[in-house]
Chains A and B, each alone.
Chain A
């Protein structure tokens, strides 16, 4: 089974900050990595797939990069609506999620 390790688990930031989250796979997953945003009481929402492709309608301040085992998710300028929990997910072999990163108000 492929394990996904996401860090940090919590991130304190202010509006306008650049935010970066890292996700590491236990084995190569090529670019089969997605990033989701989840708000309390809601289902996850797909932001990025294939490591760096923005889902339709997702603001361009969100971006992703990486391949193989190391991946990065970036919010270039944090907006008030972006305070949420973010998950990476591999879909190279079935599906595995990272532990999540809660982006909270500093």
Chain B
């Protein structure tokens, strides 16, 4: 069974850092591109970052470029999102998703990040 389980969310102070993890199981993780998407409370979906299967290619949305960093550990079947210089507007549920044929077709359940003093 394909599973994606996000963790690492919680409360962070403005200017602080958090590292999100996404544990993958039920498929050959290294074969798949992965992305992070977030959803602020009561708002829509926002794509944040992409990483290729061999992590040679990464892309970021303008809103997080220079502050967030995506990475993966294929032997550990894990995806990460290092979030630095956090702002109140980064408060959201963060989802990891598996990409198939350019589409995020399978999503985790999300982890909530709250940025507040």
Contact = CB atoms under 8 A, between A and B. Distances in A.
- The answer to whether A and B assemble together is yes
A97 B102 contact: no
Interface residues of A, number: 20
B47 A43 contact: no
A100 B62 CA distance: 21
A94 B110 contact: no
Interface of B is mostly: strand
Contacts of B104: 44, 46, 95
Interface size class of B (residues with CB under 8 A): 20 to 34
A95 to B, nearest CB: 4
A43 B102 contact: no
A97 B107 contact: no
Interface of B: 35, 37, 44-47, 50, 59, 61-62, 95, 97, 101-105, 107-110
Interface of A: 1, 32, 34, 36, 38, 42-44, 46, 49, 87, 89, 91, 94-100
